[in-house]
């Protein structure tokens, strides 16, 4: 539910995976399969292309080739850091921020995430089916979304839990005057979940 850009991450994985895989297989072929004409000719071409990086070349050639290596290393390194910075994050401190511009009244209203967390926790935590729960507010598609993670007691009906949380969220909608997207996650395990719900 966090703000990780999964498309970018998967693209990066595919690219890096392909490069490493091809490099590894290529090295094995070059070392062991010089008998194959395709491998031998391909390796000769590669050697000619990379001759500028070796000792057997002019000073200018060498400087130019290694400048490319240096620049490429910097660019790839920056790209890797950019991908790393897209991981995680997305938690938000405010749920609603409105300056009430429609009415032209001065001042603004801000509802903090903790207010919603307390309201939902106390309402949902009282349900007999719920062993423990956590409420978080995340940024999703530019807006705010609430995640309610419920760990029910053993054998609790997911439909019953969903209906009760729906009722609680309906109250929250009335309270906020806005229908925020809410994700309900009914998760396994957790404290008290091994104890069955005896009193209905």
Partner 1 sequence: MTAVDGRTASVPEAGPAPSAGHAATYRRLLRRETHVSRSGAVVVAMLVTLVLAAAAVFAGALVLLDQNVLGVDPRAVVDAALAAPDGLDTTLVVGIAAIVALVGLVLLLQGVLPQRRPRHAMSSDRLAVVVDDEVLASAAARAARSATRLGQDAAVGTVGRRTVEVVLRPAAGVDVPAVAATEAVEREFAAIDALPALAARVRVQPTGRVDG
User: Which residue's CB is nearer to partner 1, number 9 or number 128?
Assistant: 9
User: Which residue's CB is nearer to partner 1, number 34 or number 108?
Assistant: 34
Q: Are strands 182-186 and 143-152 parallel, antiparallel or unpaired?
A: parallel
184: its two tokens: 């309900």
Min dist. Cβ of residue 32 to partner 1 (A) = 6
The answer to whether residue 36 forms part of the interface with partner 1 (CB under 8 A) is: no
User: Which member of 41, 45, 70, 97 binds partner 1 (CB under 8 A)?
Assistant: 70
Q: Which stretch binds partner 1 (CB under 8 A): 1-9, 93-101, 105-113, 120-128?
A: 1-9
The answer to whether residue 145 forms part of the interface with partner 1 (CB under 8 A) is: yes
85 in Cβ contact with 167 (< 8 Å):
no
The answer to whether residue 98 forms part of the interface with partner 1 (CB under 8 A) is: no
The answer to whether residue 9 forms part of the interface with partner 1 (CB under 8 A) is: yes
User: Which member of 80, 97, 100, 125 binds partner 1 (CB under 8 A)?
Assistant: 80
Contacts to partner 1 from residues 179-198, by CB under 8 A: 179, 181-189, 196
The answer to whether residue 178 forms part of the interface with partner 1 (CB under 8 A) is: yes
Angular region, 174: left φ>0, alpha ψ -120 to 50, beta rest:
alpha
Residue 83 neighbours by CB under 8 Å, 6+ apart: 8, 9, 12
Instruction: With CB under 8 A as the rule, give the number of residues binding partner 1.
Output: 87
User: Which residue's CB is nearer to partner 1, number 20 or number 109?
Assistant: 20
Q: Are strands 109-112 and 94-98 parallel, antiparallel or unpaired?
A: antiparallel
* DSSP output for 56-72: SS-HHHHHHHHHHHHHH
Q: In angstroms, rounded to a whole number, what is the distance separating the alpha carbons of residues 73 and 62?
A: 16
Q: In angstroms, rounded to a whole number, what is the distance separating the alpha carbons of residues 145 and 138?
A: 5
185 in Cβ contact with 147 (< 8 Å):
yes
The answer to whether residue 50 forms part of the interface with partner 1 (CB under 8 A) is: yes
Q: Which stretch binds partner 1 (CB under 8 A): 78-86, 91-99, 107-115, 119-127?
A: 78-86
The answer to whether residue 109 forms part of the interface with partner 1 (CB under 8 A) is: no
């Amino acid at each position: 539910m966090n703000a990780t850009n999964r498309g970018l991450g998967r693209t990066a994985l595919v690219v890096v995976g392909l490069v490493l895989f091809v490099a590894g297989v290529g090295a094995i072929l070059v070392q062991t399969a010089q008998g194959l004409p395709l491998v031998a000719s391909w390796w000769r071409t590669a050697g000619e292309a990379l001759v500028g990086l070796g000792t057997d070349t002019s000073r200018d050639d060498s400087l130019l080739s290694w400048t490319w290596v240096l620049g490429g290393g910097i660019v790839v390194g920056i790209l890797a850091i950019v991908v790393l910075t897209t991981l995680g994050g997305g938690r938000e401190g405010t749920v609603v921020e409105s300056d009430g511009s429609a009415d032209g009244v001065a001042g603004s209203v801000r509802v903090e995430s903790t207010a919603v967390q307390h309201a939902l926790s106390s309402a949902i935590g009282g349900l007999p089916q719920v062993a423990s729960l956590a409420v978080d507010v995340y940024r999703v598609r530019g807006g705010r979304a609430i995640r309610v993670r419920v760990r029910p007691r053993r054998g609790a009906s997911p439909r019953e839990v969903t209906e009760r949380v729906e009722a609680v969220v309906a109250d929250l909608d009335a309270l906020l005057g806005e229908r925020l997207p809410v994700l309900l996650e009914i998760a396994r395990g957790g404290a008290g979940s091994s104890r069955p719900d005896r009193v209905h």
